[in-house]
Structure 1
Amino acid sequence: MHLAGSMPALPAAVAFSGGADSTALLVQCVRAWPGQVHAIHVHHGLQAAADGFVRHCERMCALWDVPLHVEHVDARHAPGESPEDAARNARYATLAASARGAGLASVLLAQHADDQVETILLALSRGAGLPGLAAMPRSFERHGMRFERPLLDVHAQEIRDWLRSEGIDYVEDPTNTDTAFTRNRIRRDLLPALATAFPQFRETFARSARHAAQANGLLTALAQEDLARAGSPPAIDALRSLARARQANLLRHWLRQSHGAAPSTAQLEELLDQVEACSTRGHAIRIKVAKGFVERTGAHLSFTAPPVA
């Protein structure tokens, strides 16, 4: 088992749950950069076993002489928000804040090759576009912190085999076998079938994700150029001068970057139809997008959302 990618910015934190993947990552990092690695454990408070996870992490970090930061978060989801999304968003924000508070330069995450395949399959099941099919990037920035995924090329079984060969203990999260979660059904039912039909599926899926990420980067660059010409908020006449696909690309980018809003396919198609029909000053536009509305304001589009309670 090996850590992929370039050396992370040090000193670094490892997001340490106590499970197999983050345990392997933490041990590898401590061996590679002694004295330069901390561990951050996020206590989500969502299951009875959470306190036991903290005790395990404390014991292991004491054994390895690794500073441990335990952070408690409220990861309950809002109405209409998925529990997985709520927990993930709270986790990233907490990891970034904890790392900054400890004077650390980056956070390392333990997602591996099987996690990447699951992410791609989930994206396909939802009819995702290129951003979803690009799956998880090897590195990214969020909440003002650099995040890295050094295990994206490593198979889940390889991680467990390595821990067993090293005699290193870890905990099993009981939610990992709960088939109420789609990821767990994919792991149990689909991955073994893929391994039988396509033995190299992890590598080929990862290659497709990299191609999608590259194409998505090109579309983002094009959207930035088109938005610079159309203005922000975009002028309707400038939008209408573009081909429909470029209009869609620009509008997705504008809504995501300026307003954090992601239109559904149906919402975006309706908005494009209204832009196409907007040939007179009196033509009104008001389309529901995410939690707000895209409207015509004079010669431009605008986005309004209700205030956060």
Structure 2
Amino acid sequence: MPDDDHSPISVQDAKCLFADWKAAPAIVLAVSGGPDSVAMMWLAARWRRAAKRGPHLIAVTIDHGLRAEAAREARDVKRLAKTLDVPHRTLRWSGAKPKTGLPAAARDARYRLLAKAARAAGATHILTAHTRDDQAETVLMRMARGSGIAGLAAMARQSQRDGVVLARPLLQIPKARLVATLEKAGIGFAEDPTNRDTSLTRPRLRALMPALAAEGFDARNLTRLASRLARANAALEILADGAERYLALGQRDPDHAGFDANAFAALSEEIRVRLLLRRIDRVGHEGPAELGKVEALLAALDRAGAETAHAKRRIRLKQTLAGALVSLVDGRIRIDPAPPRRRRMN
């Protein structure tokens, strides 16, 4: 594609953007009414119309019930979808809304409803309109949280969620090109005021982007960083696969037998962290383990190993994390489901 950040996206460009999903039986397009998702729907419809065969497209708008304008925006999307010969559905997030963590809860509800719509339509994929700008903001947000390599790899072009494939065809496309595409086509779009609400993290970072870009932290470089870290993360995951097989050698039931503490200690620190994360997330029942807590657990295991070598006796260690019980007993590390927490009596 041309390297002009403000050029409209051509029919040929669109063909390249959506080519990976031409064999899918049906695709749900997540369309909010904003410029990014409206452009994605318009481009996808043109791509499908120009192809001899391809997936059935269904546009879905999620009304979170948080803004009075959302219902009107959904109707506008429906009207545009009709002109494009794309079936449209509006789904509403009903029920009580949390007082804290509302953006995360709304995001989870959105994906849950989209997945439900995809299953009902026989769709294998959900396409979202995340752009290069969104990817850059995600990298900055995760930097601020102290994320590891996997987190800084940010959003993947494809991932699994709720039994369907979540795909992001516009992840390397700047928002300005999508706006230019709509302007050339004479298509209107909505502007969500929450995108300018500086009480939220993402809009605050967005406001900082011009100053950061002047120092080299522009969307292109941040997205390039995410791609490189994704590549490194994939390589490390392959190494972790090999280490997991190595620790399981000679064991009839590796998941329940644990693994040798000395063999584990001989591995690199990054691989050991990943192995602990994998096993804890596999058997725990309190959600994904936090990276920082797993790093603290590894430090405790290392200290216990050092004390064992110094005192020439076995040091025992037991800790719970994310619903998993991690124990070091007789030179073996085991990670099992933790007993349910006792309910406190009033």
TM-score (norm: length of structure 1): 0.86
Q: Conserved in 2, the CA contact under 8 Å of 1:15 and 1:108? A: yes
> Following superposition of structure 1 onto structure 2, how do residues 1-309 of structure 1 map, counting pairs within 5 Å?
1=9, 2-3=13-14, 4=17, 6-8=19-21, 9-34=24-49, 36-74=56-94, 82-188=101-207, 190-198=208-216, 201-230=218-247, 231-232=254-255, 234-235=258-259, 237=261, 238-259=263-284, 260-265=287-292, 267-276=293-302, 277=304, 279=308, 283-287=316-320, 289-290=321-322, 292-296=323-327, 299=332, 300-304=334-338, 306=340
The Cα offsets for residues 238-278 of structure 1, whole Å up to 9 and x where unpaired, read as 4334344432221122223444422241x223312332205
Segment drifting more, 86-95 vs 117-126: 86-95
1:59 aligned partner, one-letter code: R
- The 3 A distance-change label for structure 1 pair 186 and 66 is same
> How far apart, in 1, do the equivalents of 2:136 and 2:146 lie?
15
1:255 aligned partner, one-letter code: I
Segment drifting more, 170-179 vs 23-32: 170-179
Q: Conserved in 2, the CA contact under 8 Å of 1:119 and 1:135? A: yes
Runs of at least 5 residues in structure 2 that lack an aligned partner in the other structure: 1-8, 50-54, 248-253
User: SS in structure 2 opposite 1:147?
Assistant: strand
Runs of at least 5 residues in structure 1 that lack an aligned partner in the other structure: none
> How far apart, in 1, do the equivalents of 2:300 and 2:149 lie?
25
> How far apart, in 2, do the equivalents of 1:121 and 1:88 lie?
19
Segment drifting more, 86-95 vs 11-20: 86-95
The Cα offsets for residues 163-200 of structure 1, whole Å up to 9 and x where unpaired, read as 11211011111211111111101112x211233343x9
User: SS in structure 2 opposite 1:219?
Assistant: helix
> How far apart, in 2, do the equivalents of 1:51 and 1:194 lie?
36
- The 3 A distance-change label for structure 1 pair 196 and 281 is closer
Q: How far apart are 1:25 and its partner, in Å?
A: 0.3
> How far apart, in 2, do the equivalents of 1:204 and 1:21 lie?
21
- The 3 A distance-change label for structure 1 pair 178 and 38 is same
> How far apart, in 2, do the equivalents of 1:305 and 1:216 lie?
33
> How far apart, in 2, do the equivalents of 1:155 and 1:181 lie?
22
- The 3 A distance-change label for structure 1 pair 243 and 37 is closer
Segment drifting more, 38-47 vs 278-287: 278-287
Query: Larger radius of gyration, structure 1 or 2?
Result: 2
Q: How far apart are 1:63 and its partner, in Å?
A: 2.8
Q: Conserved in 2, the CA contact under 8 Å of 1:42 and 1:94? A: yes
1:7 aligned partner, one-letter code: D
2:290 aligned partner, one-letter code: P
> How far apart, in 1, do the equivalents of 2:97 and 2:238 lie?
33
Segment drifting more, 6-15 vs 129-138: 6-15
1:235 aligned partner, one-letter code: F
2:156 aligned partner, one-letter code: P
> How far apart, in 2, do the equivalents of 1:201 and 1:305 lie?
48
Q: How far apart are 1:294 and its partner, in Å?
A: 3.2
TM-score (norm: length of structure 2): 0.78
Segment drifting more, 219-228 vs 255-264: 255-264
Q: How far apart are 1:281 and its partner, in Å?
A: 5.5
- The 3 A distance-change label for structure 1 pair 5 and 215 is farther
The size of the alignment, in residue pairs, is 302
- The 3 A distance-change label for structure 1 pair 305 and 157 is farther
Q: Conserved in 2, the CA contact under 8 Å of 1:76 and 1:83? A: no
Q: How far apart are 1:38 and its partner, in Å?
A: 1.2
Structure 1 vs Structure 2 CA RMSD: 2.7
